[in-house]
Structure 1
Amino acid sequence: MARMSERTPWWRDAPPSRPRRVSGGIQIHTARGSVAQTWWSARFIEVLESLGVGGRLARGRTYARAGQTLDLRVEPGAVVARVQGTRPQPYRVRIGLRTYGKAEWTAVEQALADDAWYAAALLAGRMPPEIEQLFASLGLALFPASGHDLSMDCSCPDYAVPCKHLAAVFYVLAERFDADPFEILALRGRDRETLLANLRARRGGTAQAPDAPQATPLADLLDTFFVAGPSEASQLPPAPTPPDALLDQVPAFPIEVRGHRVVDLLRPAYRALGDG
């Protein structure tokens, strides 16, 4: 009979318990197969899978598909979320990634502004593969290369990193990245609005001075934009319209009558009606 000390600890043989059900959680849409649908979100999943945590990845996908993630927020340098597990209190999850400073983002924005194709692709919801080389040419990395580039923390008692709660957040995050590639740039420290404003300023030459007079938005001028001013031109009668002008606007008839176009046959009749 084996001694107690030689047996496998009871908590490693215990079957995984079911998490508490959640109403209104963030539920990923992929029911099976790969979660990441684009190459850029797959970069983060590759880092997760390279850590080799086995069954926790499968349970993390189950959590993500069941909507166990209560909320998720992408901030500069961190993804913060709450995941409901087996205990009444949801677990706090944080995934950290290094942000880039002002000088580094200045170099990135100038490189992006030099080729408007990058901004156009991002606005269309695509992350062009070439943007990864653009960051690399500046000595920067857009995506984490390994788990060492990330800091991961969860308030659950699981000893493994990443645990199933962290894995669930990775999968929810991948779907967020699929829908909006700007979230990846925000994680590195530059949100969508700031990035696009800086790109517009760089492509327009010099940025507008803070005390410069501000142009009135076109939306505020629509009520008066097409209103004629007090001039004699507004009192002029409208120019006469030829009675057969309508025939020049109708689509061409596909048939002819004895070699003549139908419009040409109707034109004398329209002119006669106008003279009357």
Structure 2
Amino acid sequence: MSDWYGGFPKPSKPIRVEGGIKARSKRGEIAQTWWSRRFIEVLESFGMGGRLQRGKNYARAGQVLNLSLSTSVVVGLVQGSRPQPYRARIGIKALSSAEWDQVERALAGQALYAAKLLAGEMPQDIEDVFAELGLELFPTTMRELTMDCSCPDWEIPCKHLAATCYLLAESFDADPFQILAWRGRSREELLDRLRTLRGTTAGPAAEQPTGPEPLSASLETFWTAPEPPAPPPTTGTTAPDAILDELDPLPVKIGDDSAVDLLRPAYRAMTAPE
């Protein structure tokens, strides 16, 4: 039996699967963060709004069996009405190494952008950084995207591609670095490059001279009298009558004893402890 009727594929129900990737959103918009909403808005601006809508039910029902993202290409394996799942592929041009070098230098040169990215956040106006360099983070024309699906539907995007787009947007919600990886720079490569450009991968910083200790660090001892200076160290004990030996010999004798010898007991008595 033909799957086509009047030039169009016959309506058919997809084969239900267990363990597929289900969209977290159960109603309303699927994209939650500004960057994932921006991606959906871009696709809708190409006139895909109605066609994208058909993929929401597939995304929420878990018809996408697998979703993989690599540089330039996202591939979704989607279960349709046939036993063999369809392969939906979305391609975008990756930035060159030279272009990424410009972007990384621009991001590293602005502390706020670098801080947010290093904290795992997507800066709100990161698109402006790309625009100032004549580059684009999100596609701006349909010609920048390539889409194809192995299903018999000739419309692009078909419901399988639309489901893949919605789940891709949710993956951007969970990890904004997926957008950058799609454009050719992985999370690890980008953050390592930013740390290097900002000089945060160097070894331990050289010791810096410290200033006076702040008052808050010495409140307990601030009003305490300082310790008296320690007496100078001594190298030995000096006899109290040694000064007599510094004098020239006195030409005075009392009996058979010299005057110096008679004075020695007096000097020793004056310095003896009580």
Which bin holds the TM-score, normalised by the shorter protein? Answer: 0.5 to 0.7
Q: What does residue 116 of structure 1 align with?
A: 111
Asked if residue 143 in structure 1 is aligned to residue 146 in structure 2, the reply is: no
Runs of 5+ consecutive residues of structure 1 not aligned to the other structure: 1-8, 209-214, 216-247, 249-276
Residues 162-218 of structure 1, C-alpha deviations (whole Å, 9 max, x = no match): 10000000000001101111000000000000111111111118x88xxxxxx8xxx
Cα 1:93–1:201 change in 2 (3 A) is same
CA RMSD, 1 decimal: 2.4
Asked if residue 167 in structure 1 is aligned to residue 158 in structure 2, the reply is: no
Q: Which amino acid aligns with 1:165?
A: H
Greater alpha carbon shift after TM alignment, 41-50 vs 57-66:
41-50
How far has the Cα of 1:43 moved from its partner?
2.1
Q: What is the distance in 2 between the residues matched to 1:195 and 1:126?
A: 13
Asked if residue 40 in structure 1 is aligned to residue 35 in structure 2, the reply is: yes
Q: What does residue 30 of structure 1 align with?
A: 25
Residues 107-135 of structure 1, C-alpha deviations (whole Å, 9 max, x = no match): 11111111232233234443222210000
Given candidates 14, 19, 31, the residue that maps to 1:19 is 14
Q: Give the TM-score of the pair, scaled to structure 2.
A: 0.68
Given candidates 123, 128, 132, the residue that maps to 1:133 is 128
Q: What does residue 52 of structure 2 align with?
A: 57
Q: What is the distance in 2 between the residues matched to 1:29 and 1:11?
A: 35
Q: What is the distance in 2 between the residues matched to 1:123 and 1:25?
A: 32
Q: What is the distance in 2 between the residues matched to 1:28 and 1:78?
A: 20
Q: What is the distance in 1 between the residues matched to 2:32 and 2:15?
A: 28
Where in structure 1 do 4 or more consecutive aligned residues deviate above 6 Å? none
8 Å Cα contact 1:53/1:160 also seen in 2: no
Q: How does 1:1-276 map to 2 (within 5 A)?
A: 9-10=5-6, 12=8, 14=10, 16-53=11-48, 56-204=51-199
Q: Which amino acid aligns with 2:128?
A: Q
Identity of aligned residues (%): 60
8 Å Cα contact 2:43/2:49 also seen in 1: no
Radius of gyration: which is bigger?
A: 2
Q: What is the distance in 2 between the residues matched to 1:45 and 1:58?
A: 11
Q: Secondary structure at the match of 1:72?
A: strand
Cα 1:13–1:28 change in 2 (3 A) is closer
Cα 1:37–1:91 change in 2 (3 A) is same
Cα 1:130–1:51 change in 2 (3 A) is closer
Q: Give the TM-score of the pair, scaled to structure 1.
A: 0.67
Q: What is the distance in 2 between the residues matched to 1:38 and 1:115?
A: 23
Greater alpha carbon shift after TM alignment, 181-190 vs 118-127:
118-127
Runs of 5+ consecutive residues of structure 2 not aligned to the other structure: 204-219, 221-274
Residues 78-126 of structure 1, C-alpha deviations (whole Å, 9 max, x = no match): 1112111011011111111110111111111111111232233234443
Q: What does residue 230 of structure 1 align with?
A: none
Q: What is the distance in 1 between the residues matched to 2:40 and 2:87?
A: 20
Q: Secondary structure at the match of 1:52?
A: helix
How far has the Cα of 1:13 moved from its partner?
8.7
Q: Which amino acid aligns with 2:18?
A: S
Q: Which amino acid aligns with 1:69?
A: V
Cα 1:120–1:95 change in 2 (3 A) is same
Q: Secondary structure at the match of 1:111?
A: helix
Q: Secondary structure at the match of 2:75?
A: strand
Q: What is the distance in 2 between the residues matched to 1:138 and 1:127?
A: 18
Q: Secondary structure at the match of 2:91?
A: strand
Q: What is the distance in 1 between the residues matched to 2:42 and 2:49?
A: 14
